Amino acid sequence: MKKIILMLMFILGTFAFSEITTSEVQSFFSSKAQIYVSNQKDWFCIEVPGTDETECRKFNYLVNVVPVGNKYRISYTPIDNVKSYDREKYPILSYKIGKKYYVNSRKNQDTPVTDSYDITVDYVISAGTEIKKGKKYERTDFQMLSESELNALLKSKSAKRLNSETEKNTKAYLDWLFHNNN
């Protein structure tokens, strides 16, 4: 009986404390996903290539929201080298259609691309950073929030939803980056 209980605890623990899965990441490119942009900068930690160290610095960012039942899964996309801002200090995200190579089809296809900002490819969809006892840590899982918690988060981050065309282009661009540059 003890073996069965231990086995069940192991299986449940595996699901409860698992790393970010590919299906979770892909849900942020789905039609039900919503993308917000913040006019603030926040901390994001990135690994320093060739070392075991991380470097944390402030970036502009997108807030990606996916409904999951009666909760919302949240991720962030840090954006860098923003070319221009509107009068309220939100990054201006502009896209044009370009031919981009797709690994799965092995073809060049029309894809929204941008030169209005840069994204570190490893952090297209990030769980974000949290601060504990004065130290910055990369989250190991996405935040899951109720509707009221989501509204409070978006308000605290001064985030506004992208218009439908920009949101569609942003999803397509992030999806291409994630699936063709990893």
Interval 61-112: pLDDT, tens? 999 999 999 999 999 999 999 999 999 999 999 999 999 988 888 889 999 9
Higher pLDDT, 18 or 138: 138
- Reduce the DSSP state of residue 111 to 3 states and report it: strand
pLDDT number for residue 8: 40
Query: Which residues fall within 8 angstroms of residue 100, CB to CB, at 6 or more apart?
Result: 108, 109, 111, 113, 176, 180
**Rounded to two decimals, what is the model's pTM?**
0.82
DSSP H helical ranges for the chain: 2-16, 22-27, 147-156, 164-180
Query: Which residues fall within 8 angstroms of residue 55, CB to CB, at 6 or more apart?
Result: 45, 46, 47, 48
Higher pLDDT, 140 or 88: 88
